[in-house]
Structure 1
Amino acid sequence: MSPTAQIPRAQENKPSGIRSDIQGLRALAVVAVIFDHIWAWPSGGFVGVDVFFVISGFLITGLLLREHERTNHISFTVFYQRRIKRIIPAATLVLLVTLGAALLLFNRGRFDQTFWDAIWAFFFTANWHFAAAGTDYFLADGPISPLQHYWSLSVEEQFYFVWPGLMLAVLIVAAKVGVNRRRLVTGVVMALIIVVSFGWAMFDTQAHPTLAYFSTFTRAWELGVGALIAITSPWWSQIPARARPILAWVGLLGIVFSIFVINETLPFPAPWAVLPVVAAALVIAAGIGGEQRFLYPLTNRVSVYLGNISYSLYLWHFPVIILAGTLISPSSLRYYVLVLVGIAVLSVLAYNLVERPLHKSPWLGGKTSRQRRRFEWSTWRRQHGPALKRNGLAGATLVAFGVVFLAILPSLSPNPAAGYVPAAPKDSTAASLAPQADAVQAQLSSALLASTWPEFNPPIVNLADQRVPQWTENGCLNVTDRNLDLCSYGAAVPTRTAVVLGDSIATSWLPAVISALEPLGYSIQALTKESCPIARTDVLDPRARDTVFDECGSFTDWAQQKVRQLDPDLIILSDSFLSIKRLASQAEGPAAESEWTAAYAAALAALPARASKVSLMTPPGAENLQSCYTPLSQPGNCIRSIQDDWKVLLRAEASAATMAGTTFINTQSWFCIEALCPAFVDKSAVYADSSHLTATYSESIGAVLQEKLQSLKIAPPSA
């Protein structure tokens, strides 16, 4: 989004040249975005960004057209000086403050990530950076960048690196054709840009949904629609006065409808962004002929003021949301109060201390005499000096409050294990039936009681680097004929064969399985594919979100063929509890549990009868250490209770295993004590994110897995 700009001559109906209905549109858009990011409600709050794109395209194109009609030229120097003056100071302030806060609140690995995010954001390439990193706007798992929202600002500025030059070239050509046809020719060119960009968006949304969400090419049509309204403004200004309020209300209701109806499961940005884009265009077009008198929800003083500070609100809201989440539990009332107050106070202060004063200052005002420049700065100081002093004092007070808040924060942070009392030690004279499992329970108990962070080994820099090597080095996240041999492990001269089936969770179990079975003479073949559960039921593609993940069916058929060829002695199965939320049937609650039970039982029944089959329950997960391990946090902040979806999967797969006569192992006690699950054990992280095991911990519980399999008479005793 971009801040307020002057509007084309056709709609200058107020002395300031600022349209209150457009400022109200800004307010509606930014409030929808903020609500969506805080509460994930309304479901389509993210379409506020699309409204901003239309507004920006309209205002900037109108500014360029008006200049060309007045001077027969477009000054790139003046244009980009205005953009720098309006965009860079406020955006840079947020980047610097966010980096300062990240240095204090994030661990080293996450700070480094945020630093590079800031570099990309400063040079208006954040959208490509986040797209290349594979950030999924809707399904992000793990630490979210506090600067992710800069992607939309990058899209706008990239558009305006190209559009003024292209527009001037078109206008020059149009002048040769005939001066009266300049808008017509420009409009035709913009219409072509809209058609091509929208067509590409339709394709890319289906083929590469994450890339499509962030791409300038798939978003250019939205700015183009606003630009087309500006180009055709003389026609819109002829709309009868009685019809304009009707048109505006249709547009406003369309935006509201979009905010509440569109959700992350629908293809976006194409075609569903058409609804908020066209609706915003109708509101803008309806106000071209004169001031709107019957659009009070947008033109009231509160809406107009929120629209005035909407750029600051947009810039500050996301860092506040993410940073506050490292200080206070995001589900608590204190968190919501802190976030709302923080966004409001920082935005108002930044608007009055940086954005508005610099916009009104003589900075980058062009070439003038030294005397004239001194006069302009002197006038500026007289006009803005008192307000700057007042707001500066308020800012200093805010900083002091922040220091006090951080000092008392540890006493405010909840610890899920605060009431935990370890069980009485067992009789040391009695032999343990499961010494390895008991040792893990003792380590988990120590982790729950820990009051200080251990010296992690490996260090917590980038947890993704601690994923299991079978995932990162051999590509066993997706096993095919090409890497089948690379995903075969175990004894040099095997006497038994084991197969591991499942999704990425099964991949993360591989170090444990290898550690458990290799000493017993097993060869281990991984047959795993990310996002493909064991259960034979349709699930949605995690990338497209609204289409069935057809790859799972073909992979399962291929894996079963390989299983028959291998004729294994043992088959170990495991999959993610998150998949139960991706059912193509959209079933939830008991219906989802019933569907999963039947589908999982069918998958087990299809496996060779000769093989011993073990359904290994997925780890319950914990808070992501990359997020919760910070200079100000305590170990208790990373403890998580078991989620409801995990419990549903537990019941479904345990029941299915019973139906199919398959051994089911509930692994909860390997990761949690009762319902409390720490994120680390001893000096090692348990998870490389919030659900996939690290290489270190997976290998460490191989002894527990071996002990369990031997106690069940599934694996032979150790030599």
Structure 2
Amino acid sequence: MSNLPSDFSNRSEPLDALRGLAILTVIARHYFEFKYGMLGVDLFFVISGFLIGGVLLDDREQPGYFSSFYGRRAFRILPLYWLLLLIVPPDHWGHYLFFMQAKPWLQFGYPLTEPTFVTWTLAIEEQFYLILPMLIYWLPRRWLIRILWSGVLLAPAWRWLFHAYLPDHSWEFLLPGRLDELFGGVLLASYMRGYCRSPVAWAILACVPPICDVAYATMVGPFSFLSIAAFACCIIVWAGANMERTVLLRPFIWPGRRCYSLYLFHMVVLDIFLFFDFGFYAGFVALPIVCILAEISWHVIESPLINYAKGRFAKADAATIRIAGAV
């Protein structure tokens, strides 16, 4: 997910609120069986592409480009993630340690009921973090945009292939099948920075994956309309990035800024109350507790590490990241 609160000083309240909305829909799916909770994951991926891509585009000419990015990401992501693995050690934990959990999943099946299974989104994010900085740093602008659009346009085909030849749900949990969301977010960031020569051509290209998914579902049979969700989430993120008034979104800002710990630990807390047979009420009891734990985590673990990383590693000029907000 970029289910990650900021480690920069300048924040975008609308995008924080969108992250809050995303994490709340995910929690609502797991706690209260909200049917459309997976849309929160789609929104997270687009936000991640938009914010991470924007920061990297702004910082590509700065010294310490790779060290500053990976240093800040490591201090932001790894401590809390490894803490989760210590609290609830999963099978094949060595693969989890390096975000390679998809390898045993493909061999032994997807552990949908394990609390650490939520880390599939984080594994996708980390793989995305490995490739995007290199693409932005080494590719000329023209080729970068071509590669990004290729990822977006090919994402439906990857999902169809995974659905046909890999175990169930593989199309949903592997990076290539999510490139229209992640690269779509990066393209939004590129557009805001003047990388687009023809808005009409970009608009036409953006419509191709949803049309392909509809055509595939019509001819072959029922299948995911993930491209439509990606398209809709891109519109939502675009609107949030250009929003000035945030009064209606303010209730979502707090969960947006605490969403990383909410995301990692909400299933652990829920499973505790399910174990003690709280049944229908488990979600209602677990929700305030996981919120309290997220606030404690922010002040005791996350914020001190973020502040250390900001002092230890160079960061992008604050003026250049004003558009994108915080990651």
- Would you say 1:51 and 2:43 are equivalent positions? yes
Classify 1:5/1:132 alpha carbon distance in 2 versus 1 (closer, same or farther; 3 Å).
farther
Q: Which amino acid aligns with 1:28?
A: L
Aligned 8 A contact 2:53 2:189 in 1: yes
Match of 2:22 among 5, 26, 29: 29
Please list, as runs of the form range in 1=range in 2, the aligned pairs for 1:164-563 lying within 5 A after superposition. 164-170=133-139, 174=140, 182=141, 184-208=142-166, 209-235=168-194, 267-268=223-224, 272-289=225-242, 291-293=243-245, 295-298=246-249, 300=250, 302-331=251-280, 333=281, 335-362=282-309, 365-366=312-313
Q: Which amino acid aligns with 2:234?
A: A
Shift of 1:162: 1.5
Structure 2 match to 1:163: 132
Distance of 2:47 and 2:261 partners within structure 1? 16
Classify 1:61/1:352 alpha carbon distance in 2 versus 1 (closer, same or farther; 3 Å).
same
Structure 2 match to 1:104: none
Shift of 1:341: 2.7
Aligned residues: 288
Distance of 1:362 and 1:146 partners within structure 2? 29
Once the two structures are superposed, residues 117-150 of structure 1 have per-residue CA deviations (whole angstroms, 9 ceiling, x without a partner) of: 543322112234334322275xxxxxx2110000
Match of 1:75 among 65, 69, 73: 65
**1:219 is paired with a residue of what secondary structure?**
helix
Q: Which amino acid aligns with 2:15?
A: I
**1:328 is paired with a residue of what secondary structure?**
coil
Aligned 8 A contact 1:53 1:223 in 2: yes
Structure 1 match to 2:201: none
- Would you say 1:153 and 2:122 are equivalent positions? yes
Structure 1 match to 2:202: none
Aligned 8 A contact 1:58 1:230 in 2: yes
**1:218 is paired with a residue of what secondary structure?**
helix
Structure 2 match to 1:4: 5
Classify 1:319/1:329 alpha carbon distance in 2 versus 1 (closer, same or farther; 3 Å).
same
Shift of 1:297: 3.3
Structure 1 match to 2:325: none
Higher relative contact order structure (alpha carbons within 8 Å, sequence separation ≥ 6): 2
Distance of 2:289 and 2:96 partners within structure 1? 22
Once the two structures are superposed, residues 467-508 of structure 1 have per-residue CA deviations (whole angstroms, 9 ceiling, x without a partner) of: xxxxxxxxxxxxxxxxxxxxxxxxxxxxxxxxxxxxxxxxxx
- Would you say 1:65 and 2:14 are equivalent positions? no
Distance of 2:302 and 2:240 partners within structure 1? 26
Q: Which runs of 5+ in 2 are unaligned?
A: 197-220, 315-327
Shift of 1:288: 4.1
Q: Which amino acid aligns with 1:193?
A: G
Aligned 8 A contact 2:14 2:241 in 1: no
Shift of 1:235: 4.9
Once the two structures are superposed, residues 437-469 of structure 1 have per-residue CA deviations (whole angstroms, 9 ceiling, x without a partner) of: xxxxxxxxxxxxxxxxxxxxxxxxxxxxxxxxx
Aligned 8 A contact 2:13 2:253 in 1: yes
Match of 1:97 among 67, 70, 87: 87
Distance of 2:256 and 2:49 partners within structure 1? 17
Q: Which runs of 5+ in 1 are unaligned?
A: 8-15, 100-113, 138-143, 175-181, 238-264, 368-719
- Would you say 1:121 and 2:96 are equivalent positions? yes
Shift of 1:360: 1.2
Distance of 1:285 and 1:164 partners within structure 2? 22
Higher strand share: 1
**1:148 is paired with a residue of what secondary structure?**
helix
Once the two structures are superposed, residues 210-249 of structure 1 have per-residue CA deviations (whole angstroms, 9 ceiling, x without a partner) of: 2212111212221111111111113599xxxxxxxxxxxx
Shift of 1:25: 0.8
Higher helix share: 2
Classify 1:155/1:81 alpha carbon distance in 2 versus 1 (closer, same or farther; 3 Å).
same
Aligned 8 A contact 1:201 1:218 in 2: yes
Aligned 8 A contact 2:162 2:170 in 1: yes
Once the two structures are superposed, residues 502-533 of structure 1 have per-residue CA deviations (whole angstroms, 9 ceiling, x without a partner) of: xxxxxxxxxxxxxxxxxxxxxxxxxxxxxxxx
Aligned 8 A contact 1:6 1:63 in 2: no
Shift of 1:274: 2.2
Shift of 1:82: 1.0
Shift of 1:303: 1.2
Distance of 2:134 and 2:51 partners within structure 1? 17
Q: Which amino acid aligns with 1:123?
A: F
**2:277 is paired with a residue of what secondary structure?**
coil
Once the two structures are superposed, residues 86-140 of structure 1 have per-residue CA deviations (whole angstroms, 9 ceiling, x without a partner) of: 11112122222334xxxxxxxxxxxxxx2x3543322112234334322275xxx
Aligned 8 A contact 2:180 2:230 in 1: no
Distance of 1:87 and 1:311 partners within structure 2? 9
Classify 1:164/1:235 alpha carbon distance in 2 versus 1 (closer, same or farther; 3 Å).
closer
Classify 1:95/1:215 alpha carbon distance in 2 versus 1 (closer, same or farther; 3 Å).
same
Once the two structures are superposed, residues 338-367 of structure 1 have per-residue CA deviations (whole angstroms, 9 ceiling, x without a partner) of: 312331122111122111221112587149
Shift of 1:207: 4.4
Aligned 8 A contact 2:162 2:171 in 1: yes
> Is the radius of gyration larger for structure 1 or structure 2?
1
Structure 1 match to 2:12: 19
Q: Which amino acid aligns with 2:132?
A: W
Q: Which amino acid aligns with 2:252?
A: S
Q: TM-score by structure 2 length? A: 0.79
Q: Which amino acid aligns with 1:220?
A: L
